[in-house]
């Protein structure tokens, strides 16, 4: 059902301390004067990383740092509460709720340390604590500005499959719960502040949507409630022609298409979680990327149309922390099912395959996966090809971590001859050797694998070649 509604998500830096949270609350207040608003919030910046680090320490049985870590989290959130909430009773209630959540974290970490085992399910429960700590603070800040607001745990609303660490939403059930859980609040003029990143299975087991997943939470809720738009408030002015940390002169793009944004996100542009556009693309609901530190700026509009770029290449992206996996050896020429078996293995481990190439002689199949998927995937491949490895038909399954993917993205690349030539010419002049190349038939992107140490130089050279600044 379509209704006048805006979903707005605030990322980690946008809720990084009391001042940022107040600024976010003011943005919500201004928007809520025009239409109902659902806020979605990330953990305060740095918190998710620290939670994951704590989980890894616990897994290794190193319990001595856990206490200081939990105290640091307590301090961070209590300081924010002091800066935001003047009413002593309300502040006490928030601090008590924070203490209860940290108590749960303590138990989860001690349990992990005791077992010396960190299951994906336990990691989800631990890494999702940050959003449960930040949402009550943001709701309190909105309340302090004179609006009605309440924190809502997304575990009650977003229902996912049980794929811990990278769960996918089950939309029919999520829609039902959003209708019953959030719609009445909106009708009563209450701003729900929903925890990003986390969700739960139909049985209530906590899951997460993957790192950076609060963006995805926002569009899932937007789609579930039939919102008119989703705004992702972050720490940059919008989507740029390249990651500004790699290319300082990168330029703001006022408009891009769903396809372009999806390609950029898929190939590592951290400004958007890779799945963010999935829930809203079919309905054509626009997504805005805007700077919470400078809310007067218009930001980037992501919609079906986008806007074309002169030379076809609109933006560049690069991704490191990936592994190039090669299944190879002269003996695999005759193995007709080698592709099927390789991808059955990546599919079983649900590895994110970013890039695939195969040489015509079939001596080597190589694909790039996220580093986090490497261990499980290489083990699965070794198992899948165990008989051939024993007989030396398959000679090696190699994992090379010293690589990065660099990709050029733009809808107009289709039908613009010479883009690939210019791309490889520019990299050649820079002395960067290309390890592998891929271009999808959609021609929205051309990507290549280079040595990790050449990644930044490659992006800068291409930025200059296509005059993107």
Does residue 317 touch ligand ASP according to CB under 6 A?
A: no
Does residue 243 touch ligand ADP according to CB under 6 A?
A: yes
Site string for ligand ADP, 209-228 (x = CB under 6 A): ---x----------------
Site residues (CB under 5 A) for Mg ion, limited to 186-215: 212
Q: How many residues bind ligand ADP (CB under 6 A)?
A: 20
Query: Strand locations in 271-381, DSSP E?
Result: 287-291, 300-303, 315-319, 322-328, 353-358, 364-370
Contact criterion met (CB below 8 Å) for 239 and 300: yes
Site residues (CB under 6 A) for ligand ASP, limited to 391-450: none
What strands lie across the sheet with 206-208, from one edge to the other?
159-160, 198-201, 206-208
Decide whether 269 or 345 has the Cβ nearer to ligand ADP.
269
Choose, by CB under 6 A, the member of 121, 163, 211, 376 that binds ligand ASP: 211
Q: Which stretch binds ligand ADP (CB under 6 A): 47-55, 264-272, 279-287, 379-387?
A: 264-272
Does residue 214 touch ligand ASP according to CB under 6 A?
A: yes
Question: Shortest CA distance to 468 belongs to which of 312, 259, 263, 319?
Answer: 312
Site residues (CB under 6 A) for ligand ADP, limited to 303-342: 315
Question: Shortest CA distance to 352 belongs to which of 382, 338, 372, 381?
Answer: 372
For residues 389 and 368, what is the distance between their CA atoms, to the nearest angstrom? 21
Tokens for 311? Answer: 């030379």
Burial of 252 (0-12, 13-18, 19+ CB in 10 A): middle
Closest CB 439 distance from ligand ADP, rounded Å: 20
Q: Which stretch binds ligand ADP (CB under 6 A): 72-80, 160-168, 236-244, 435-443?
A: 236-244
Choose, by CB under 6 A, the member of 7, 8, 10, 12 that binds ligand ASP: 12
Which of the listed partners (ligand ASP, ligand ADP, Mg ion, none) does 236 bind, with a CB threshold of 5 to 8 Å by partner kind?
Answer: ligand ADP
Does residue 212 touch ligand ASP according to CB under 6 A?
A: yes
Closest CB 154 distance from ligand ADP, rounded Å: 16
CA distance readout (Å), 317 to 179, 211, 445, 459: 37, 18, 10, 7
Site residues (CB under 6 A) for ligand ASP, limited to 123-182: 130
DSSP H or E stretch at residue 383: helix 374-384
Choose, by CB under 6 A, the member of 269, 280, 389, 427 that binds ligand ADP: 269
Decide whether 11 or 136 has the Cβ nearer to Mg ion.
11
Which of the listed partners (Mg ion, ligand ADP, ligand ASP, none) does 59 bind, with a CB threshold of 5 to 8 Å by partner kind?
Answer: none
Decide whether 217 or 281 has the Cβ nearer to ligand ASP.
217
Neighbours of 21 (CB within 10 A): 26
Which of the 8 DSSP states describes residue 79? H
Q: Angle formed by the axes of helices 171-181 and 214-225, to 10°?
A: 80
Based on its alpha-carbon atoms, the radius of gyration of the chain, rounded to whole angstroms, reads 23
CA distance readout (Å), 255 to 145, 241, 315: 33, 11, 12
Site residues (CB under 6 A) for ligand ASP, limited to 33-72: 42-43, 48
Q: Which stretch binds ligand ADP (CB under 6 A): 72-80, 129-137, 233-241, 331-339?
A: 233-241
Site string for Mg ion, 8-27 (x = CB under 5 A): ---x----------------
* DSSP percent split of the chain into helix, strand, coil, nearest 5: 45, 20, 35
Which of the listed partners (Mg ion, ligand ASP, ligand ADP, none) does 13 bind, with a CB threshold of 5 to 8 Å by partner kind?
Answer: ligand ADP
Q: Encode 364-401: b = buried (16+ Cβ within 10 Å), e = exposed.
A: bbbbbbbebbbebbbebbeebbeebbeeebbbebebbe
Tokens for 253? Answer: 């793009």
Closest CB 34 distance from ligand ADP, rounded Å: 23
Residues that bind ligand ASP (CB under 6 A): 11-12, 42-43, 48, 130, 196-197, 211-214
Residues that bind ligand ADP (CB under 6 A): 11-14, 42, 212, 234-236, 239-240, 242-245, 264, 269-271, 315
Residues that bind Mg ion (CB under 5 A): 11, 212
């Amino acid at each position: 059902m379509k209704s006048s509604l805006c979903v707005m998500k605030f990322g980690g830096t946008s809720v990084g301390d009391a001042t940022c949270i107040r600024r976010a609350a003011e943005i919500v207040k201004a928007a809520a004067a025009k239409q109902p608003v659902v806020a979605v919030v990330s953990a305060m910046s740095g918190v998710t990383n620290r939670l994951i680090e704590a989980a890894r320490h616990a897994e290794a049985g190193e319990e001595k740092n856990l206490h200081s870590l939990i105290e640091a989290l307590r301090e961070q959130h209590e300081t924010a509460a002091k800066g935001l909430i003047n009413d002593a009773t309300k502040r006490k209630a928030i601090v008590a709720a924070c203490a209860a959540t940290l108590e749960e974290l303590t138990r989860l970490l001690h349990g992990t340390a005791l077992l010396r085992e960190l299951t994906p399910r336990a990691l989800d429960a631990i890494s999702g604590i940050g959003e449960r700590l930040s949402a009550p603070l943001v709701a309190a800040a909105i309340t302090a500005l004179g609006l009605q607001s309440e924190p809502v745990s997304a575990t009650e609303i977003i229902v996912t499959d049980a794929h811990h660490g990278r769960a996918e939403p089950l939309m029919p059930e999520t829609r039902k719960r959003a209708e019953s859980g959030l719609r009445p609040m909106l009708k009563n003029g209450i701003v729900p502040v929903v925890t990003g990143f986390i969700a739960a299975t139909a049985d209530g087991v906590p899951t997460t949507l993957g790192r950076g997943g609060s963006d995805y939470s926002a569009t899932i809720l937007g789609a579930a409630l039939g919102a008119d738009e989703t705004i992702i408030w972050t720490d940059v002015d919008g989507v740029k022609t390249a990651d500004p940390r790699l290319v300082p002169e990168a330029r703001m793009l006022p408009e891009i298409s769903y396809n372009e944004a999806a390609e950029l996100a898929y190939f590592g542009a951290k400004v958007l979680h890779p799945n963010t556009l999935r829930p809203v693309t079919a309905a054509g609901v626009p997504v805005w990327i805007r700077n919470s530190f400078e809310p007067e700026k218009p930001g980037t509009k992501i919609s079906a149309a986008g806007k074309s770029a002169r030379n076809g290449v609109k933006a560049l992206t690069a991704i490191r922390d990936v592994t190039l996996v090669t299944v190879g050896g002269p003996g695999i020429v005759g193995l007709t099912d080698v592709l099927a078996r390789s991808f059955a293995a990546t599919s079983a481990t649900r590895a994110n395959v970013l890039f695939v190439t195969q040489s015509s002689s079939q001596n080597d199949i190589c694909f790039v996966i996220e580093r986090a998927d490497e261990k499980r995937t290489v083990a699965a491949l070794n198992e899948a090809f165990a008989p051939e490895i024993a007989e030396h038909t398959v000679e090696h399954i190699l994992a090379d971590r010293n690589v990065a993917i660099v990709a050029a993205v733009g809808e107009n690349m289709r039908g613009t001859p010479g883009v690939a030539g210019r791309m490889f010419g520019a990299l050649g002049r820079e002395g960067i050797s290309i390890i592998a190349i891929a271009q999808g038939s959609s021609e929205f992107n051309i990507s290549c694998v280079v040595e990790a140490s050449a990644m930044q130089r490659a992006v800068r050279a291409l930025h200059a070649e296509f005059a993107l600044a």
